[in-house]
Chain A
Amino acid sequence: EDKVVQSPLSLVVHEGDTVTLNCSYEVTNFRSLLWYKQEKKAPTFLFMLTSSGIEKKSGRLSSILDKKELFSILNITATQTGDSAIYLCAAAGNTPLVFGKGTRLSVIA
């Protein structure tokens, strides 16, 4: 059965800290890995990764995929209170996105 596992499940940091969120996956005919940020409403898209070793960046967020070891990380540098959210990792294979349970990030001032 396809599965995606995220760690840690929750994390509390202070503003300015750097965090790394982990995502491992087992998906038949893997095609891509996606990261979403979920605040109060729907998940909003952050990154889609299809190739190993190529870092994607958007401001203070970056992500990289390792297709050999079947994992991805999401880094957030210089965290701000607005980064507080649930970060969802999802993998696409034979079926549409299989989601992990998310990492709940709380950034305190």
Chain B
Amino acid sequence: RKEVEQDPGPFNVPEGATVAFNCTYSNSASQSFFWYRQDCRKEPKLLMSVYSSGNEDGRFTAQLNRASQYISLLIRDSKLSDSATYLCVVNLVTDKLIFGTGTRLQVFP
């Protein structure tokens, strides 16, 4: 089993739609969780950290489910500019951040 797993997609959604991605991780001792966004041929950039109680940043909501060992990202009112690859990132042991393979989102008009 991979340490961090994501559905590669692509998720094709119309503008204004709500879309959700999940990411599962294998190590129950993981402490830190993040979502990064990567545009085509660009470097990844932090979208948001994921906190135990769940957190929201505008149209984006991140949640953590420790019992089932997954994190999720919900995007409401999708914009064309949201089209990108979303990377799930988990720190499995101290000092090592492991990236998922990413979920590609394509928002169409």
Does B bind A? no
Interface residues of chain B, those whose CB is within 8 Å of chain A, are: none
